[in-house]
A and B are shown apart, each in its own frame.
Chain A
Amino acid sequence: MHEHRDYEGAKIGMWLFLFTEVLLFGGLFLLYAVYLHRYPAEFHAAGKDLSRIFGTANTIVLITSSLFMALAISALQRGKVLLSQRLVLLTVALAGVFLVNKFFEWSAKISHGIYPDSPALLKLPPGEMVFFNLYYLMTGLHGIHVIIGGAVLLYGWHLMRAGRVTPEHFVFLENGGLYWHLVDLVWIYLFPLFYLVV
Chain B
Amino acid sequence: MSADAHDHPNFFQPQPGTKGGIASWIFSTDHKRIGMLYLYCIVAMFLVGLTLGFLIRLELIAPGRTIMGPQTYNALFTLHGVVMIFLVVIPSIPAAFGNIFLPIQIGAEDVSFPRLNIFSWWLYVTGAVLAVVSLVTGKGAPDTGWTFYVPFSAVTTTNVDVAVVAVFILGFSSILTGLNFITTLHRLRAPGMTWTRLPLFCWSLYATGWIQVLATPVLGITVLLIFAERVLGVGLFDPSRGGDPILYQHLFWIYSHPAVYIMILPAMGVISEILPVFARKPIFGYKMIAFSSLAIAFAGSLVWAHHMFVSGMSDTAVMVFSFLTFVVAIPSAIKVFNWVSTLYKGSIRVEPPLWYALAFIFLFSIGGLTGLVLGSAGTDVHVHDTYFVVAHFHYVIFGGLGFGLFGAMHYWFPKVYGRMYDKRIANWSCLIAFVGFNILYFPMFIIGLQGMPRRYYDYLPKYAEGHFISTMGSWVLAAGLLLMFWNLWRGIRHGKPVGRNPWGAATLEWMVPSPPPHHNFDAEPVVTHGPYDYTGVKPDA
**A interface residues, Cβ below 8 angstroms from B:** 1, 4, 6, 8-9, 12-13, 16-17, 19-28, 30-31, 34-35, 38-39, 42, 116-117, 122, 125-130, 133-134, 136-137, 141
For B219, the closest partner residue in chain A by CB is A27
B242 and A129 contacting across the interface, CB-CB below 8 Å: yes
Contact with B218, one of A16, A26, A42, A125 (Cβ below 8 angstroms):
A26
Residues of B within 8 A of A133 (CB): 234-236, 241, 243
**Could you tell me the distance in whole angstroms from the C-beta of B211 to the nearest C-beta in chain A?**
12
Q: Which residues of A sit under 8 angstroms from B144, Cβ to Cβ?
A: none
The minimal Cβ–Cβ distance linking A113 to chain B, given in whole angstroms, is: 14
Give the complex CA separation of A22 and B241 in angstroms: 27
Q: A residues within 8 A CB of B85? A: none
CA distance A133 to B243 in the complex (A): 10
Which residues of chain A come closer than 8 Å to B251, judged between CB atoms? 27, 30-31
Q: Which 3 A-B pairs have the closest CB atoms?
A: A117-B233, A126-B242, A27-B221
Using known A-B contacts A9-B186, A13-B180, determine if residue A117 contacts B234 with beta carbons closer than 8 Å: yes
Q: Which of B187, B217, B236, B519 makes the CB contact (< 8 A) with A12?
A: B187
B232 with A34: CB separation less than 8 A: no
B249 lies within 8 A of chain A by Cβ: no
B179 at the interface (CB under 8 A from A): yes
B218, A27: Cβ atoms closer than 8 Å: yes
CB interface residues, B 172-197, toward A, < 8 Å: 175, 178-180, 182-184, 186-188
B333 CB-CB contact with A under 8 Å: no
Residues of A with C-beta under 8 A to B184: 9
Q: What is the chain A residue whose CB lies nearest that of B242?
A: A126
User: Taking the complex as formed, is B471 at the interface, i.e. its CB lies under 8 A from any CB of chain A?
Assistant: no
Q: With A1-B519, A13-B179, A27-B222 given, is the CB distance from A130 to B233 under 8 Å?
A: no
Is B235 within 8 A of A116, CB to CB? yes
Contact between chains at B232 and A116 (CB < 8 Å)? yes
A35: chain B residues at CB < 8 Å are: 242, 244
With A130-B242, A130-B243, A137-B228 known to touch, is A24 a contact of B236 (CB < 8 Å)?
Answer: no
In the bound complex, do residue B217 and residue A129 qualify as a contact, i.e. CB atoms below 8 Å apart?
no
Query: Roughly how many angstroms separate A187 CA and B240 CA in the complex, as a whole number?
Result: 29
Query: Would A6 and B228 count as touching, CB distance under 8 A?
Result: no
**In chain A, what residue has the closest Cβ to B114?**
A4
Question: Which residues of A lie under 8 Å from residue B175 when comparing CB positions?
Answer: 17, 20
22 contacts between A and B (CB under 8 A): A1-B519, A4-B109, A6-B112, A6-B187, A8-B187, A9-B186, A12-B183, A16-B213, A20-B175, A20-B216, A21-B217, A23-B218, A24-B217, A24-B218, A24-B220, A27-B254, A34-B247, A116-B235, A128-B242, A129-B235, A130-B236, A130-B242
User: Are B233 and A116 closer than 8 Å at their CB atoms?
Assistant: yes
Contact B218 A9 (CB under 8 A): no
Contacts of B182 in A (CB 8 A): 12, 16
How many angstroms from the CA of A13 to the CA of B250 in the assembled complex?
28
Question: Residue-by-residue, is B492-531 near A (CB-CB < 8 Å gives 1, otherwise 0)?
Answer: 0000000000000000000000000001000000000000
Q: Are A16 and B217 in contact (CB under 8 A)?
A: no
Rounded to whole angstroms, the CA-CA distance of A16 and B178 in the bound complex is 9
Contact of B25 with A by CB under 8 A: no
Contacts of A24 in B (CB 8 A): 217-218, 220-221
* With A117-B232, A133-B236: A122-B241 Cβ-Cβ less than 8 Å: yes
Q: A16-B182, A16-B183 are in contact. Are A34 and B244 (CB under 8 A)?
A: yes
Which single residue of chain B is at the shortest CB-CB distance from A20? B217
User: How far does the Cβ of A119 sit from chain B's closest Cβ, in whole Å?
Assistant: 11
Nearest CB of B to A145, in Å: 13
* A19 (CB) vs chain B CBs: closest residue: B213
- Contacts A13-B183, A130-B242: A23 and B214 contacting too (C-beta < 8 A)? yes
The reply to whether the CB of B393 lies closer than 8 angstroms to some CB of chain A is no
Question: When chains A and B are docked, how far (Å) is the Cα of A136 from the Cα of B244?
Answer: 18
Partner of B241 from the list A1, A6, A9, A129 (CB cut-off 8 Å) is A129
Give B220's nearest chain A residue, CB to CB: A24
Q: Given A28-B221, A126-B242, A9–B236 Cβ distance below 8 Å?
A: no
Residues of B within 8 A of A16 (CB): 178-179, 182-183, 213
CA gap between A6 and B215 in the complex, in Å = 27
**Is B113 on the interface with A (CB-CB < 8 A)?**
yes
B contact residues around A4 at 8 Å (CB) = 109-110
Do A127 and B217 touch (CB < 8 A)? no
Cβ of A46 to closest chain B Cβ, rounded Å: 11
In the bound complex, CA of A42 to CA of B224 (Å): 25
A139 to chain B, nearest CB (A): 13
Contact between A137 and B214, CB atoms less than 8 A apart: no
Q: Which of B112, B220, B250 has the most CB of A within 10 A?
A: B112
| Distance A30 CA – B233 CA, assembled complex (angstroms) | 20
Docked complex Cα distance between A127 and B243 (Å): 8
Say whether, besides A21-B217, A24-B221, A127 and B519 are in contact (CB < 8 Å). Answer: no
Residues in chain A near residue B235, CB distance under 8 A: 116-117, 129, 133
Quick one: closest B residue to A16, CB to CB? B179
Tell me which residues across on chain A come within 8 A of B228, comparing CB atoms.
Answer: 116, 137
Give the CA-CA distance A133 to B229 in the complex, in Å: 10
In the complex, residue of chain B having the shortest beta-carbon distance to the beta carbon of A30: B251
> Which of A8, A24, A38 is most buried by chain B, counting CB atoms within 10 A of its CB?
A24
Nearest A residue (CB) for B232: A116
> Given that A20-B216, A130-B236, A133-B234 are contacting pairs, would A13 and B242 also be in contact in the complex, using a CB cutoff of 8 Å?
no
Q: How far is the CA of A31 from the CA of B228 in the complex (A)?
A: 14
Residue of A nearest to B233 (CB): A117
- Name B217's contact: one of A8, A23, A39, A126 (CB within 8 Å): A23
- Report chain A residues within 8 Å CB of B232: 116-117
- Which B residue sits closest to A13, measured CB to CB? B183
Please state if A137 and B179 are interface contacts (CB–CB under 8 Å).
Answer: no
For A42, the closest partner residue in chain B by CB is B242
Instruction: Specify which of B110, B241, B243 lies most central, judged by the most chain A CB atoms within 10 Å of its CB.
Output: B241
Contact B112 A20 (CB under 8 A): no
Report the separation of the CA atoms of residues A65 and B421 in the bound assembly, to the nearest whole angstrom.
61
Contacts of A20 in B (CB 8 A): 175, 179, 213-214, 216-217
Q: Which A residues touch B225, using CB under 8 A?
A: 27, 137
Please name the residue on chain B nearest to A130 by beta carbon: B242
Q: Report chain A residues within 8 Å CB of B519.
A: 1
